[in-house]
Amino acid sequence: TIIEEHAPNPAAGDADRPIGYGRIQRKEDPRFVRGKGNYVDDIVLPGMLHGAILRSPVAHARLVSIDTSAALAHPGVVAVITGQDLLGLKLAWAPTLSADVQAVLVTDKVRFQGQEVAFVIAEDRYAARDALELIEVDYDVLTPVVDVRTALDPGAPVVRDELEGRTDNHIFDWEAGNAAETDAIFASADVVVSQEIVYPRSHPAPMETCGAVADFEPIEGALTLYETSQAPHAHRTLFAIVSGIPEHKIRIVSPDIGGGFGNKVGIYPGYILAVVGSIVTGRPVKWVEDRSENLMSTSFARDYIMQGEIAATKDGKILALRTNVLADHGAFNATAQPTKYPAGFFHIFTGSYDLQAAHCKVTGVYTNKAPGGVAYACSFRVTEAVYLVERLVDMLAQKIEMDSAELRLKNFIKPEQFPYMNKTGWEYDSGNYERAMRLSMEMAGYDDLRREQAEKRARGELMGIGISFFTETVGAGPRKHMDIVGLGMADGAELRIHPTGKAVVRISVQSQGQGHETTFAQIVAEEIGIPPEDIDVVHGDTDQTPFGLGTYGSRSTPVSGAAVALVARKVREKAKFIAAAMLETRPEDLEWEKGRWFVKGDPSVGKTMAEIAMGAHGTVTLPEGIDGNLDAEVTYDPPNLTFPFGAYICVVDVDPGTGHVKVRRFIAVDDCGTRINPMIIEGQVHGGLTDGVGMALMQLIEFDDEGNCLGGSFMDYLIPTAMEVPDWETGFTVTPSPHHPIGAKGIGESATVGSPPAIVNAVVDALRPFGVTHMDMPCTPARVWAAMQGRPTPP
């Protein structure tokens, strides 16, 4: 069911209208559907060599020796680089995005299975791979730290013993909210529900794995790096700092990216090795990882063990929330998030409810696992936060025997309370939660579903209905509060209108499939009236675009989208002065209608944008201070984040014999403020909901006692397909952001954030006849069946 975007919605008035021509087809698709996309692995440079990485088979071991002589002698091999070589270049360790360092190649000790040990460069990919097997490595195997619960025990092996004075695996303690106030409310509350809730380790697994092609030109001392990057400008700055190559001599190109989902935010050893390889050999070097390398060594997601508690009155007024979290960060603290927030935006865990107090504490821990932590459409750990609160609310509903929709409706922040300051320091910009909740219930036929469920229960059939209501915080900056490695989170935009009235807008964010080439053209089209097909969007090349922090945390629309709207307004304003000169009148006598300035009271006398563009570059005498072009640039520093929200309802059927869960229906009502392209929004939501089915029912990156990764291939790490998902039923409400130039909020991660709790809530609801109150993801048949038997959770 698609509720048409023009359906009248008196409450929202004109705000329901999508902008810039609305549901138009994607400009990037003709090249994708014809196989003409240009991905990193499509880049072939003259004389290009190929690199391959030798990875550790064990999780924790001293490196005793490496013998590369046989590999070097292998036909086609040009060079073999080891950690010792990098030590000489001062490149053995590289800074992470979280003020830690990460080994580029192992020098002293292996710290996770799959870690980078040596780099072979050869004439072709096959020779490079073959030569890996000829490298002799002697490992002195150590006991690994696998279980985060015991990682802080005295006597646990120390993962990061190379750090000065390190005697344990503790990384940080971080807290938000008010512990004393929260504890006081808990002490006197009628009802308290406590639960350990695990958000297991998962992986973004984009269709395209990570890779790079490095081309160092020694005469100019210039580096061109083609890279799978969600943030080319930030990467360039970091490469300049680490390599010593001046920043203006570095060009980063991220061409088409086959999905990022947070996996391509960080800088991986492979990228650095490609650069080192090009410098060493004097030829371009390509490195592209395979699927197992991607799953085993690049940024994982989640891995939070959350001890959560909710306090309420007996009639269902929620009073307070508190949680203690153990966060497994793996061997290096390499998560990508604003510096001030080591747990990302997890402290929005108060969700969509008006509480009296809240407190959260997060402890980050090193283990012998791959690093990462902020990825997989997580909105900087809002995924974990939403899952925690939405599970606890459902458990509370079960405990006080109240309908879970009713409990939510009773506790929502009310429309008149916005802007709403929550108890952990977030100022929610706008919201109308009840309206979205009621729309989703109406679309679902909620009361009928509950009746159907009661009938089925009476017959011994297992049907579950799960609700999740989420609020996200997306669009980082503001820069005064948010930076990544010291770079403030703002975005630039440049707009040029050519003399014939066609436009090019250059943006600093980087599409990985989100459709920026279409939607950013639509924003400009809305503001200056040139149709989207006449506006080209340039992104993904640091030589071609203004500085900015990149695409993640659904920040492109909130930050870069705002920059684009403002740069278009700047051009529109400039056009007024030029039109006035052309019409020999005063600017204040002109009026704007989409695409043209005309004389107030005489609409027949005016100039279109195309005419003005020609005029700007022509022979008209321009007013003082107006240059002879129709170009502009801005850098946008957002005053606040945006707070999209949504109401999701999931219906599942559980097979009582096998424990298999089938998602029968899923209703998703999203509110991302002003909508630019409803079709792209639906695509984002469909993708995110599918992610949710994967996480809730199928996906887990598990480790055995030796630290072996058990999720290193698609045989073990399952990706949901059309077979596992229902026909999504999407709806929307529109509550514009008051501080965004066009009122838009982000949507790119909403459904991934919001859907897992709806699915798990539905599964637990189905298992109610068995007295089940909670179960941890993924709800695989084996686990569901065990829960039905009251047995411990199998892996």
Q: Which of 327, 343, 377, 685 forms a contact with ligand CUN (CB under 6 A)? A: 377
Determine, following the binding rule CB under 6 A, whether residue 577 of this chain makes contact with ligand CUN: no
173 token code pair: 């303690």
Q: Which does 747 bind (CB under 5 to 8 A by kind): ligand MCN, ligand CUN, none?
A: ligand MCN
Distance CA 728, CA 1 (A): 8
Cβ partners under 8 Å of residue 283, min gap 6? 47, 48, 49, 78
In sequence order, what are the beta bridge partners of 197? 306
What stretches of 83-133 adopt beta strand conformation (E)?
A: 93-95, 101-103, 109-110, 116-122
Closest separation between CB of residue 472 and ligand CUN, Å? 11
Nearer to ligand CUN, 18 or 646 (CB): 646
Distance CA 367, CA 373 (A): 13
Nearer to ligand CUN, 380 or 648 (CB): 380
Contacting ligand CUN within 734-763 (CB under 6 A): 749
Closest separation between CB of residue 3 and ligand CUN, Å? 27
Nearer to ligand MCN, 243 or 690 (CB): 690
For the chain, the distance separating the N- and C-terminal CA atoms, rounded to the nearest angstrom, is 37
Q: For 12-41, give one letter per residue: b (16+ CB within 10 A) or e.
A: beeebebbbbbebebbbeeeeeeeebebbe
Residue span binding ligand CUN (CB under 6 A) among the ranges 13-21, 213-221, 258-266, 412-420: 258-266
9 token code pair: 């919605």
Q: Which of 376, 469, 597, 666 forms a contact with ligand CUN (CB under 6 A)? A: 376
Residue span binding ligand CUN (CB under 6 A) among the ranges 63-71, 112-120, 145-153, 376-384: 376-384
Count of CB atoms situated within 10 Å of the CB of 203: 28
Q: Which does 103 bind (CB under 5 to 8 A by kind): ligand MCN, ligand CUN, none?
A: none
Q: Which does 374 bind (CB under 5 to 8 A by kind): ligand MCN, ligand CUN, none?
A: ligand CUN
Continuous H helices in 40-163 = 69-73, 83-88, 125-132
Closest separation between CB of residue 535 and ligand MCN, Å? 14
DSSP run (H or E) holding 174: strand 170-177
3-state secondary structure of 73: helix
Distance CA 249, CA 218 (A): 11
Query: Could you tell me if 505 and 567 are in contact, meaning their C-beta atoms sit under 8 angstroms apart?
Result: yes
Residue span binding ligand CUN (CB under 6 A) among the ranges 52-60, 313-321, 374-382, 663-671: 374-382
Q: Which of 185, 374, 392, 564 forms a contact with ligand CUN (CB under 6 A)? A: 374
Closest separation between CB of residue 325 and ligand CUN, Å? 17
Residue span binding ligand CUN (CB under 6 A) among the ranges 370-378, 389-397, 563-571, 646-654: 370-378
Nearer to ligand CUN, 16 or 749 (CB): 749
Closest separation between CB of residue 358 and ligand MCN, Å? 25
DSSP symbol at 792? P
Determine, following the binding rule CB under 6 A, whether residue 261 of this chain makes contact with ligand CUN: yes
Count of CB atoms situated within 10 Å of the CB of 381: 29
Q: Contact letters (x/-) for ligand CUN, 230-249, by CB under 6 A?
A: x-------------------
Determine, following the binding rule CB under 6 A, whether residue 262 of this chain makes contact with ligand CUN: yes
Query: Of 287, 283, 227, 212, which Cα lies nearest the Cα of 48?
Result: 283
Q: Which does 744 bind (CB under 5 to 8 A by kind): ligand CUN, ligand MCN, none?
A: ligand MCN
Closest separation between CB of residue 379 and ligand CUN, Å? 6
Cβ partners under 8 Å of residue 360, min gap 6? 175, 176, 177, 321, 322, 323, 324, 325, 343, 346, 347, 349, 424
# of chain residues touching ligand CUN (CB under 6 A): 14
Determine, following the binding rule CB under 6 A, whether residue 688 of this chain makes contact with ligand CUN: no
Q: What crossing angle do the helices spanning 382-399 and 404-411 adopt, rounded to 10°?
A: 120
What stretches of 240-317 adopt beta strand conformation (E)?
A: 250-253, 285-288, 300-312
Residue span binding ligand CUN (CB under 6 A) among the ranges 9-17, 19-27, 369-377, 515-523: 369-377
Distance CA 192, CA 88 (A): 58
Residue span binding ligand CUN (CB under 6 A) among the ranges 86-94, 247-255, 260-268, 399-407: 260-268
Closest separation between CB of residue 785 and ligand MCN, Å? 33
Position closest to ligand CUN via CB: 262
> Token pair 């153990």 is at which residue?
326
Continuous H helices in 584-727 = 609-616, 678-693
In sequence order, what are the beta bridge partners of 646? 470, 670
Contact residues toward ligand MCN (CB under 6 A) are 206, 259-262, 377, 512-516, 519, 551-557, 672-677, 680-681, 684, 687, 744-749
Cβ partners under 8 Å of residue 321, min gap 6? 182, 308, 309, 310, 311, 349, 350, 355, 358, 359, 360, 389, 392
Nearer to ligand MCN, 516 or 739 (CB): 516
Query: Could you tell me if 766 and 696 are in contact, meaning their C-beta atoms sit under 8 angstroms apart?
Result: no
Closest separation between CB of residue 242 and ligand MCN, Å? 25
Closest separation between CB of residue 295 and ligand MCN, Å? 16
Q: Which does 519 bind (CB under 5 to 8 A by kind): ligand CUN, ligand MCN, none?
A: ligand MCN
Query: Of 742, 527, 480, 491, which Cα lies nearest the Cα of 634?
Result: 491
Nearer to ligand CUN, 262 or 558 (CB): 262
Nearer to ligand CUN, 134 or 265 (CB): 265
3-state secondary structure of 728: coil
- φ, ψ dihedrals at 80, nearest 5°: -130, 130
Closest separation between CB of residue 336 and ligand CUN, Å? 8
Q: Output the CA torsion 452→455→460→461 (10° steps).
A: -10
Q: Which does 684 bind (CB under 5 to 8 A by kind): ligand MCN, ligand CUN, none?
A: ligand MCN
Nearer to ligand MCN, 137 or 689 (CB): 689
Distance CA 440, CA 702 (A): 35
Q: Which of 80, 92, 375, 641 forms a contact with ligand CUN (CB under 6 A)? A: 375
Nearer to ligand MCN, 5 or 390 (CB): 5
Nearer to ligand MCN, 348 or 744 (CB): 744
Q: Which does 687 bind (CB under 5 to 8 A by kind): ligand CUN, ligand MCN, none?
A: ligand MCN
DSSP symbol at 790? T
Q: Which does 672 bind (CB under 5 to 8 A by kind): ligand CUN, ligand MCN, none?
A: ligand MCN
Closest separation between CB of residue 204 and ligand CUN, Å? 7
Continuous H helices in 109-243 = 125-132, 179-188, 232-243
In sequence order, what are the beta bridge partners of 177? 359
Q: Contact letters (x/-) for ligand CUN, 526-565, by CB under 6 A?
A: --------------------------xx------------
Nearer to ligand CUN, 337 or 352 (CB): 337
Nearer to ligand CUN, 199 or 216 (CB): 199
Nearer to ligand CUN, 269 or 338 (CB): 338
- Peptide bond before 419: cis, by omega within 30 degrees of 0? yes
Binding site for ligand CUN (CB under 6 A): 230, 260-262, 265, 374-378, 380, 552-553, 749
